[in-house]
Structure 1
Amino acid sequence: MTRAEFGGELRRRRLRQGLTLGQLAALVHYSRSHLSKIENGHKTPSVQLSRKCDAVLSAGGELHALAAEFSRPERDSGPGLLARENVYLQWNLHLRSDGSGAFEVGEVGTPTVTELPRSAAPSADTLPGLAALFEETKRLGRTSSPSLVLPMAITQAHVAISAAGQSAGRDQRHLLRHAARTAEFAGWMAQEGGDDRGSLWWTDHAVALSSAAGDDDMTSYALVRRAVVSLYRGDSSATTGPTEKVLNDGTIHPRIRWLAALGAAQGYAIGLDHTGAMRALETAAGLYEQAYRLEGGAHLGPSALHGRPLLIEAWCQYDLGNLAAAAALFERAMSRPLPSNRDHARFGTRRALVHAALGDPDRASELIGPLLDVVCSVDSATIRTDLRDFARTITRFRGHRGSHDIQSALMAALTKR
């Protein structure tokens, strides 16, 4: 499929609907000249535009599918850490399964600074202490860059595994279960850092640890986590397949099935399957009460559930091309502060993107401006995906004062540190 062939198909479907080029431009909030260049094969359609045209022209996903091959994953670039002084040294920590290891400073193979002895048998305070550290690490993960948090999670997972190796029976199972949840969190931080391969490795490792502990919840949740990775790659079928598998198993924990339903809704939405998305959201609504009731204690997935169903529904409506509905849902869902900086940055960026797509640069700039410092602090690859969409969308209003004022801060937030 070439650009010219896509443009011809877009023109054919537009004319079949009885729309002029100007009328279609108004419906999708793009300029008439931009659409003309696409129809004439002089410009490549973006994924966002193909979705909007597909929704407006009732193409059932076919038009969007034609444009999928033009989509190219973007790579973040940015300067590495400059070791300007001696405090910026390379550290190497080698950890063995029995807890022993070595700490080196400088290049690999330099003399060891500290030898780590083999782990002793854990005490009664080991698991509570590890749990307290993990809670603080998760709290930090809601406000800080994954590059700060991931090394802590990896080390904590290793310590828990080593302690489990020196235990037996119930204590061993509890330590392995804790290690599994720490490993799953490491996988999430890896994804937030832009490392999908590492994210999937840690998720699989969490499943192995959880299975050794006799806990099957992680196996089901891992399917949801894998689906989320596929979601950010724009792969609808690889998102809906695993989540539907979880949804169809009534023996799985309600919280995990609820998260699967929300994931499935998003998967159907990026595939422009309105019926599937609405059905999944309805299923999620039916599971919400059980998920909320079982929220306390150790759990998998987001720390807080409040407002999440509306936020996910709002984003589904955006992907389906229903911009006004998405904007209204975001206003309702974000009428009070979200529980973490990471959620605030993620959904706040999406809210601003919806208004930019609606052709309202004033509101979009007003919303995104105060968020950019937060986006920088959480340093999330997945949030930058949405922020890049915002940057591309707001460039349609180059002469607008508000979009010009945020340009410098926007470019800084888009750069991976």
Structure 2
Amino acid sequence: MGHIGEDGMGQRPKELTPHASPLHYLGAEMRAWRNQRGLSLGKLGQAIVFNSSYMARVERGDQAPSPDLVHAYDSALGASGALIRLHESITQGASLEALRARHVSNPGPHVSKSPVALADESGIQAPSEEGLSVPVRTDDGRIIFVSLSRRALIGALGAGAAIAAASDLPAAATAARRSSLSASGANPIELLQATRRVLIDNDNRFGPTQVIPVVQQQIAAIKELRADLRGADRRQLLQVQTQYSELCGWFFQDLGDFRAAQHWTREALETSHMAGDAELTTYILARRSQLAGDMRDPIEAVDVAEAAEGHAAPRSRLAAVAATYGAHGHALRKDVTMTQRAYEHALNLHANMDPDPSSPWGVWLDTAYIEVQRAHSHAVLGNHHGAAEGFRSAIGRLPAGYHRDRGVYLAREAVALANAGEAEQAASVGLQALSIGEETGSARINRELAQLDESMNQWRTVPSVADFKDAMTEAVLRQA
């Protein structure tokens, strides 16, 4: 998706005017960080999946950046929150003079120090410690982003977020926070679990970009709290840390950052062993198989799924979960017979499982979920009509709150329809998916739509297809 930028072919980049306005100042800082890392607009654009022409306009100060773009720059270039804090100051109305004064009096890591490679581990750290832009739906149905202070964020997420706020305080303040929690009778583990549920709900509505920093702050807070606990309490806190790390891995997986997803999923697997929770370990193994499937690694997907099924208790729900993800691995190997057998095996495990109402893992698994995974495998195997029918059926069964998942299924249905030669219907479904993709920022939706856009080139003169391609172009330019 990355186009050749103004500095991508040896052309002299346009001189910037950081003194002209706060937006020009921000654009100049974004270019400075990029140049320090030795990256062209095109190369950075490919890495963070943004249009390089749009990035160039932002760097020149000709267009305001979306929060997603600033977060992507900051994470990929290792700016440690500097660009995010600058952007938040601008959205809060800071003057150019105030920005300069703040830059001088409160210097963060300068671009000339501590070089960070684009793929370095620092790219998966929490980008901001001072605030967060959260999505809010207005009365007329639009989604806007409002910057909240820590205090407002704590109020918005509930008392559980107070634990995250404690994670970056000095040791004495952290100890006082722990003492306050104990004195009030608050249970930190219950608060963390409640906050995790809020984050999961917010993710499906708006996508993971806005909640990843909060999840990482919670993980840092849990590590602080572990220092004061022993025995069963400490093991329970390790279980909660495992759940947060797995959630962080899922958010990065949805963003398409598979390297970060692997990092957090591996961390979840390690802490599950420390917690001594065999069921949680089995669930993480199953999730690793799903991640391998998204990365189109068939051997890993099959082998890890078989390991997870082997660890699962007989007739457990987790055995069926693992078998479902392993089935897609066989599809990636283009083995039609084994794929069919594997899905029948998963359905049989599900039909004969002994549901444990006390187990929180894989509660979403039902025959509809297995069938939508089969539809995904149909698409890989070239059965495009079967895939489209499967996704259409899955969309009709989704609960109302599964906004992002609906977008994923719509996008995959549209791709299947296009591959089946149903261009007009594919364009109509693709437009629905595009709307959800813009709202949630889901890379899974965007990857499918990019594939759809390319496959529709042969029908570009069809009016409905032309409308879809125009909408795609506008969405790439907006990037918000």
TM-score, with structure 1 as normaliser: 0.70
Work out which of the residue numbers 39, 46, 50 in structure 2 matches 1:77: 50
Equivalence for 1:322: 383
Equivalence for 1:158: 220
Q: How does 1:147-226 map to 2 (within 5 A)?
A: 147-226=209-288
Residues paired across the two proteins, number: 332
Equivalence for 1:120: 178
1:240–1:286 Cα change, 3 Å = same
Percent identity (aligned): 23
Amino acid at match of 1:132: A
Shift of 1:283: 1.5
Contact 2:164 2:221 in 1 (8 A): no
Shift of 1:326: 2.0
1:212–1:203 Cα change, 3 Å = same
Shift of 1:99: 9.2
Contact 2:423 2:465 in 1 (8 A): yes
Amino acid at match of 1:221: Y
Equivalence for 2:451: 389
Are 1:313 and 2:370 an aligned pair?
Answer: no
Query: Which has the bigger relative contact order, CA under 8 A and spacing at least 6?
Result: 1
Shift of 1:302: 7.2
SS in 1 for 2:323: helix
Shift of 1:389: 1.6
Equivalence for 1:33: none
Contact 1:101 1:116 in 2 (8 A): no
1:378–1:236 Cα change, 3 Å = same
Amino acid at match of 1:246: A
Shift of 1:201: 1.6
Structure 2: how far apart are the matches of 1:165 and 1:99? 17
Q: How does 1:332-371 map to 2 (within 5 A)?
A: 332-338=393-399, 339-371=401-433
Structure 1: how far apart are the matches of 2:431 and 2:360? 34
1:115–1:169 Cα change, 3 Å = closer
Amino acid at match of 1:360: E
Shift of 1:285: 0.4
Unaligned ranges ≥5, structure 2: 1-45, 56-68, 71-82, 100-107, 109-126, 131-162
Structure 1: how far apart are the matches of 2:91 and 2:309? 54
Structure 2: how far apart are the matches of 1:375 and 1:397? 23
SS in 1 for 2:229: coil
Amino acid at match of 1:117: T
Structure 1: how far apart are the matches of 2:90 and 2:262? 36
Structure 1: how far apart are the matches of 2:258 and 2:423? 33
SS in 1 for 2:237: helix
Q: How does 1:141-152 map to 2 (within 5 A)?
A: 141-152=203-214
Q: How does 1:270-285 map to 2 (within 5 A)?
A: 270-285=332-347
The superposition leaves residues 341-391 of structure 1 with CA deviations (integer Å, 9 ceiling, x where unpaired) of: 121011111111111111111211121212212111221222322222211
Contact 2:315 2:349 in 1 (8 A): no
Shift of 1:170: 2.4
SS in 1 for 2:50: coil
1:337–1:263 Cα change, 3 Å = closer
Structure 1: how far apart are the matches of 2:167 and 2:473? 42
Structure 2: how far apart are the matches of 1:253 and 1:115? 50
Contact 1:387 1:414 in 2 (8 A): no
Shift of 1:165: 2.6
SS in 1 for 2:210: helix
Unaligned ranges ≥5, structure 1: 1-73, 104-111
Contact 1:137 1:149 in 2 (8 A): yes
1:139–1:172 Cα change, 3 Å = same
1:302–1:396 Cα change, 3 Å = farther
Contact 1:236 1:271 in 2 (8 A): yes
Contact 1:99 1:116 in 2 (8 A): no
Equivalence for 2:157: none
Equivalence for 2:74: none
Shift of 1:304: 6.2
Amino acid at match of 2:333: G
The superposition leaves residues 144-178 of structure 1 with CA deviations (integer Å, 9 ceiling, x where unpaired) of: 23220111111122223322332223222222211
Equivalence for 1:106: none
Amino acid at match of 2:50: S
Contact 1:227 1:238 in 2 (8 A): yes
Shift of 1:400: 0.8
Contact 2:312 2:318 in 1 (8 A): no
Question: Which stretch shows the higher mean deviation, 267-276 or 327-336?
Answer: 327-336
Equivalence for 1:34: none
Contact 1:228 1:263 in 2 (8 A): yes
Question: Which stretch shows the higher mean deviation, 204-213 or 75-84?
Answer: 75-84
Structure 2: how far apart are the matches of 1:93 and 1:318? 42
Shift of 1:189: 0.8
Are 1:237 and 2:299 an aligned pair?
Answer: yes
Q: How does 1:34-45 map to 2 (within 5 A)?
A: none
Amino acid at match of 1:353: V
Shift of 1:253: 7.9
Contact 1:186 1:199 in 2 (8 A): yes
Shift of 1:331: 3.1
Amino acid at match of 1:396: Q
Shift of 1:86: 6.6
Structure 1: how far apart are the matches of 2:475 and 2:333? 29
Equivalence for 1:71: none
SS in 1 for 2:178: coil
1:210–1:233 Cα change, 3 Å = closer
Amino acid at match of 1:276: M
Structure 2: how far apart are the matches of 1:307 and 1:272? 23
SS in 2 for 1:293: coil
1:225–1:337 Cα change, 3 Å = closer
